[in-house]
Every structure is written in structure tokens, then in C-alpha cells.
Amino acid sequence: MSGSPLPSSSSTAAQALLRALFETTVDAVSAERCLPPAIPRETTSGRTLIIAIGKAAAAMASVAASQINGPLSGLVITRHGHSGPPHSLPANFEIIEAGHPVPDTESLAAARHALELVGGLGAQDRLLALVSGGGSALFALPVPGVSLGDKQVVTRALLRSGATIAEINSVRKHLSLVKGGRLAVAAAPAQVTTLIISDVPGDDPSFVASGPTVADHTSLGMAREILARNGIDVPASVIAALRNPENETPPPDSPGLAGSEVRIVARAADALAAARRLAEEQGYAVTDLGDRLEAEAKQLGADHAALALRLSADGQPRVILSGGETIVRVTNPHGRGGRNLEYLLGLAIALDGAPRIHAIACDTDGIDGTEDNAGAIVTPSTLSRARALGLDARRMLCSNLAYDFFDALGDLVITGPTRTNVNDLRAILIAPEGMPDLT
């Protein structure tokens, strides 16, 4: 390790480092930092069409457009409220803001318009697809026989079931006319290049935004099995669609997919590496649990609390890092709070006010679940302050009310859209002996 622990004369030191760790990870995986080296430099004899899809779409399109020569046009498809400043786009670029995490009518309009644009490309042209997390909902066009309402029902059921993102997107691909490589097939005979900011554990490019320009390796049968295994009740139209062989995703040797270039330009491992560097610079030993954690959020929080308690025994300053996308089983339809808040509340309950241990968990896109926060912070005083307000932590966790819990304490982390997305950063800070607890 280099450096020395941050000054601990006040309780702000631990909180300041936690926030700095999150800010550092977001910066490390921003489009401005990770995209320029991957932009195609060779010129084409035709034109370049940029289609940017996902929560990072505006930033990715802005960076790419500033570095490409020749005739250029573009379509940015992003979440409502995620396309504005500080990113600027060429005057001929179109922007469609759509629904997330459940598709809406703008999601359909975006998909239809994208198909129209790529259908006009020729053999001398290039489609540059800039893909990031969130695109599955933002970019949706159901197969024949399935309505938008049907897709919304299936999406909500999948999100509440506790299914992994890979499972959810496997189903989505087989109910879509644009996912699972279909956008690339529609762009043939143009050259297709896909640059991805990955938000999925394992970084399989075919699962990021359900892979609109990437060959799929799942099947209709797998999609049906996922619904059955998770006990998900869906409309009859969806069952029929998943039994229709015409809705199988295109094979990898299809025009538009064969010979296409796919590259991941940023991933959760990059974010964790940046956090590790900062923590070590400040004199903290780092335990990196990896970027692929997908357990149930509140249980993972309890497990990490046990680990933190063991590691705190020697009194040394430490940081425990992890990434990935945990799952939440929603039992209260009126509950509020995403996976990071459920993780943190499970952690706080298991820590039970243990001294010196603080934590942050945030989604790098700035939105944890469906609320306005990126995540929250836990301190040794979290439970005592909650009790003073009459809050029952265990009851609120069981009722999916983690947002209300941390909101009442004033411990939410609110950043607004970050215009990137490599999923979650979780950091548990074990302060050195003598550092005061947060109040």
C-alpha cells in the first residue's frame, strides 16, 4: 500500500472516502474516458449511421460523433431525462427518450425508427452501434401477436421474480423484432461495429441491452424454461410467441452478424480497479470480491457484514469491494427501494451498529431501481438513528421499503444520471482504530 489513511479527526473522513470511491468508479467508465480508443478510424466510401442505445447513449454518441470524419447521422435512444447537458450532439442527430425499466410507446417508436434508418444502409455504409445497459426496455418492438401491454406485463413479472438479468434478457430477446441480433441483420449489407459499456455480470455482450447487434446463444426453449422455473404467469399471447419457431433469434452466420465487430469498452472490473487504486493510495488494504455477484441483495448484505466483522478484528484500515447485479424479490407492490438499498439494509441489520464499519452501495448509472437515488450510505449509527425515528429496519426490509428507510435518515446518495452504466459498486470501509463513528 502507498500513502496513509485519510485524516480521521472527524467522522466526515470515512464518508468522504466512500463517496470518492463511487465518483472515481463512475469517472473510470465514462464514455469520455473509455470510448475514444475504440472508435473506428478507417474511413468508409459511404456514410456512418450511429445508433446509440441505453443509459449511456447520449454520452457515447457525443464522443463518437466528435471523432468520426465523413458523412454522419445518428439516433440516440435513452431513458427519460438522460439525454441532456453536458453532452452535445450534431444538429442532424435525433433523440428519443423512452421508458425504463418497463418499455413504453416511445420504446416502440425508437425501435421502429431504428429499423427504418438501418434499412436504408448500403454495402458501403457502416452502422456504429453504441450499446449500454437499460436498452432492453428503451428499445422494444414486440413480435406479431404480442402487444406492448403484454410486454409490460412480462417485464414487470420478470423484474419482481428474482430472475437474473441474463434470464430476463433471454426471454426478452425471443419476444422482440430488434433484440438478439435482429438490428444487425436488418442493417445488412452494411458493415456493423458494436461498442459496448457492459452492465451484465460476466460481460457477455449478447446480454447487454439484449444484444440488438450481437448474435444470440439462447433459445425459445430456454426462454420457456426460465418462465416456468421462476413461476412467472404471462399472457397467453406470450406463451404462443415462445412456441413459434419464427421467433427464434437469427443464427450467428446471418448477414449483418457474420463478420461484424463487437467490442466491450468498459466493464465493472474497470470500475473496481479504479476504486482499488484510490483505496490503496489512501492506505487501505483492499479485499476485492469480484464483479459478478448475483445473489439476493439482502442476503448478500448479511454475508458481507459477517466478512467485515471478521476482517475488522485486527484494527487495520480495510476496504471490501464488490460489483455485479444482485436480485430482489418484490413482495410488496407498493414498496420502494432498489437492490443497493436492500443490500445496505441487510448489511446494517447484520452489523447491528458495529463500530468502525461504514458502507456505500450505488448503481453507476445514478439510478437504483426506479427511484431518484443511486444508492445510500450505512454508518455505525444507522440503526440507532432509525430507532430514534421509530423505524423498524427488519419490517421495512421485509416490506421492500428500503428507500423510505434511508430517505428518513437522510442517507440516500443522489447524483442524477451519470451517463454510464457498469452496474453496482459496493464498498465496505473498515476505519482504522481511533477514527470516530459517523453520527
CB 404 within 8 A of CB 337: yes
What is the pLDDT, as a whole number, of residue 261?
A: 96
First-last CA distance in the chain: 29
Grid cell digits, residue 87 = 453532452
Q: Does the CA dihedral 114-115-120-121 come out positive or negative?
A: positive
Q: How far is CA 24 from the centre of its chain?
A: 17
What is the pLDDT, as a whole number, of residue 84?
A: 75
Calculate Rg over the CA atoms of the chain. 22
**Domain 12-28+268-430 top-level CATH class:** alpha beta
d(CA 374, CA 362): 5
What is the pLDDT, as a whole number, of residue 11?
A: 54
pLDDT tens, residue by residue, 104-153: 999 999 999 999 999 999 999 999 999 999 999 999 999 999 999 999 99
Give me the average pLDDT of each 10-residue run along the chain (439 residues).
36 87 97 95 87 97 93 96 81 96 97 98 97 96 98 94 92 98 98 97 96 98 96 95 98 96 97 97 96 93 98 95 92 91 98 96 92 95 96 97 97 95 96 61
Grid cell digits, residue 365 = 448509472
DSSP codes of every residue in 150-205:
HHHHHHHHHHHHT--HHHHHHHHHTTBSSTTTHHHHHHTTSEEEEEEE--STT--T
What is the pLDDT, as a whole number, of residue 73?
A: 97
What is the pLDDT, as a whole number, of residue 4?
A: 34
- Going from the C-alpha of 18 to that of each of 168, 185, 277, 367, the distances in angstroms are 31, 44, 13, 17
Q: What is the pTM of this model?
A: 0.92
Domain map (residue ranges) of the chain: 12-28+268-430, 31-141+176-215+250-266
pLDDT tens, residue by residue, 104-115: 999 999 999 999
Grid cell digits, residue 9 = 479527526
Report the CATH architecture of 31-141+176-215+250-266: 3-Layer(aba) Sandwich (3.40)
Spatial CA neighbour of 198 closest among 110, 132, 146, 277? 132
Strands of 238-340, DSSP E: 261-266, 285-288, 318-324
Grid cell digits, residue 213 = 447487434
d(CA 370, CA 96): 20
